[in-house]
Amino acid sequence: MIFEPNAEQNEIIKAAGEFAKGEFDPDKSIEMDHNCEFPGKIYKKACSLGFVGIHFPEIFSGQGMGLIDYTLMAEALCCQDSTMGSALALSTYGSECILRFGDDGLKNRILPKILKGKMLCGGGFTDLELDAGSIPVAEKDGDKWILNGKQSAVINAGTAGVYCLLCKTMEKGDTRESISMVIIEKEREGVSVSSGPPTMGLRAVNITDLEFDNVMIPSENFVSNFGNGEHQAALFMNESRIQFAAIGLGIAQGAFAHALQYTKQREQFGLKLAKFQVLRHRLADMAVNIRKARLLTYQAAMNFDRGVIDFSLSAAAKLTACRTAVEVSFQAIQLLGGYGYMSEYHVERYYRDAKMLEICGGTPDHLKDIISDVTICKI
């Protein structure tokens, strides 16, 4: 399937690229990466220009576009800078659950605040893939619920104003339990953010743990039906993997651009590095892998916009795009030689962000399990 962006989508690519070039300061990115700092001012400006929530309906202050448009935007932002681009692209993470599964009251109460830049949304669904026993537990107490426990690896933890999470739900004194999806405001008493060590990459995204100590949650904060959390999370992860793939695609393209520029400028033995066949072939491999990842990612995004739910395709897109981001950024380091390890040349940061991205939203082994399940069924 060949995708050609239309005139409106070309404008999105151009506008996102120009915004990133004008707003993303490379030195500031290094500082934010070091301090694990979210680009708050740039986020608010991105919201005002419609880059945040581009795939949300206009009624909630979105742009009413599709996931393919989000993909084009995220790719352009992350190509310019992996740290700031990924932070903006993931600033609404988890709010898609409210859009897809929440009632009108929940949508109207929370989504406009996120898309207008008043607060970020965070989410933690990694334990769904690893161990459902480690998610927090909510027990009913009258018309409210009391939440206790811990959720690990929450995206935007500490910077988000609201979180979308899974929890076990059970009546007080009852041993029967189910898994439900719940919205938790950051300011609720008993919510605390872990002060653990920084991650290897995606440091501006602030991926860390949340702890809950007798947090009182009203019933209206639960997303849709009780006990339907696993199904809702699976559908959300199908969508978010395409978003992760788009970010990976942008990181790969950005790392490639840095490497290409360096080899065109750097001379050795009287020749530009780009003139040496062995290095030209390495650049060719990088370009081919990016093109393959782009085809898969665009196809997955277009299928989603048509209402086609294909868990295998979204898994394949994330697996390929994020693996390509890791491999291309690694090769960029190799091509820059000793400079590749220096922060001022940026490719080491692209590599760290790519490696962390490869783990988020489904590790390679988990994604291969999804793909193989579908493949085996077809044999």
Do 48 and 164 fall into the same domain? Answer: no
What would the mean pLDDT of 283-299 be, rounded to a whole number?
96
Lowest mean pLDDT among 29-33, 167-171, 228-232, 337-341: 167-171
For residue range 20-65, list pLDDT tens digits in order: 999 999 999 999 999 999 999 999 999 999 999 999 999 999 999 9
For residue range 349-368, list pLDDT tens digits in order: 999 999 999 998 889 999 99
Whether the per-residue pLDDT at 130 is higher than 50: the answer is no
What would the mean pLDDT of 10-22 be, rounded to a whole number?
95
Do 178 and 250 fall into the same domain? Answer: no
Q: Evaluate whether residue 24 is within a structural domain.
A: yes
Q: How many domains are there within the chain?
A: 3
pLDDT at 47: 95
Whether the per-residue pLDDT at 108 is higher than 70: the answer is yes
Q: Evaluate whether residue 36 is within a structural domain.
A: yes
pLDDT at 237: 94
> Quick one: pLDDT band at residue 128, thresholds 50, 70, 90?
very low
**Top-confidence residue, 3 or 305:** 305
Asked if 164 and 95 touch (Cβ cutoff 8 Å), the reply is yes
Do 12 and 32 fall into the same domain? Answer: yes
Do 164 and 101 fall into the same domain? Answer: no
Do 103 and 193 fall into the same domain? Answer: no
Do 39 and 103 fall into the same domain? Answer: yes
What would the mean pLDDT of 92-116 be, rounded to a whole number?
95
**Last-in-domain residue among 198, 227, 256:** 227
Q: Evaluate whether residue 354 is within a structural domain.
A: yes
Note the pTM of the prediction, 2 decimals. 0.94
Q: Which residue has the tokens 């681009």?
A: 85
What percentage of the chain reaches a pLDDT higher than 70? 95
What would the mean pLDDT of 304-319 be, rounded to a whole number?
96
Lowest mean pLDDT among 69-78, 177-186, 295-304: 177-186
What would the mean pLDDT of 328-351 be, rounded to a whole number?
92
For residue range 135-193, list pLDDT tens digits in order: 899 998 888 899 999 998 899 998 999 999 999 987 666 666 788 999 999 999 999 99
What would the mean pLDDT of 223-251 be, rounded to a whole number?
93
pLDDT at 95: 96
The structure tokens listed for 94 are 């988890």
Do 144 and 173 fall into the same domain? Answer: yes
Lowest mean pLDDT among 183-192, 219-228, 237-246: 219-228
Q: Evaluate whether residue 2 is within a structural domain.
A: no
Q: Evaluate whether residue 234 is within a structural domain.
A: yes
Whether the per-residue pLDDT at 333 is higher than 80: the answer is yes
Q: Evaluate whether residue 367 is within a structural domain.
A: yes
Q: Evaluate whether residue 337 is within a structural domain.
A: yes
Whether the per-residue pLDDT at 127 is higher than 60: the answer is no
**Last-in-domain residue among 66, 91, 115:** 115
Do 261 and 369 fall into the same domain? Answer: yes
Q: Diameter of the chain by CA atoms?
A: 79
Do 247 and 148 fall into the same domain? Answer: no
Do 237 and 369 fall into the same domain? Answer: yes
Which residue segment(s) compose the domain that 325 sits in? 230-378
Lowest mean pLDDT among 103-107, 108-112, 175-179, 257-261: 175-179
Do 164 and 200 fall into the same domain? Answer: yes
**Can you give the CATH number for the domain in which 135 is found?**
2.40.110.10
Do 110 and 127 fall into the same domain? Answer: no
Measure the CA–CA gap between 188 and 102, rounded to whole angstroms: 20
**Can you give the CATH number for the domain in which 360 is found?**
1.20.140.10
Q: Evaluate whether residue 1 is within a structural domain.
A: no
**Last-in-domain residue among 189, 205, 227:** 227
What would the mean pLDDT of 90-117 be, rounded to a whole number?
95
**Can you give the CATH number for the domain in which 28 is found?**
1.10.540.10
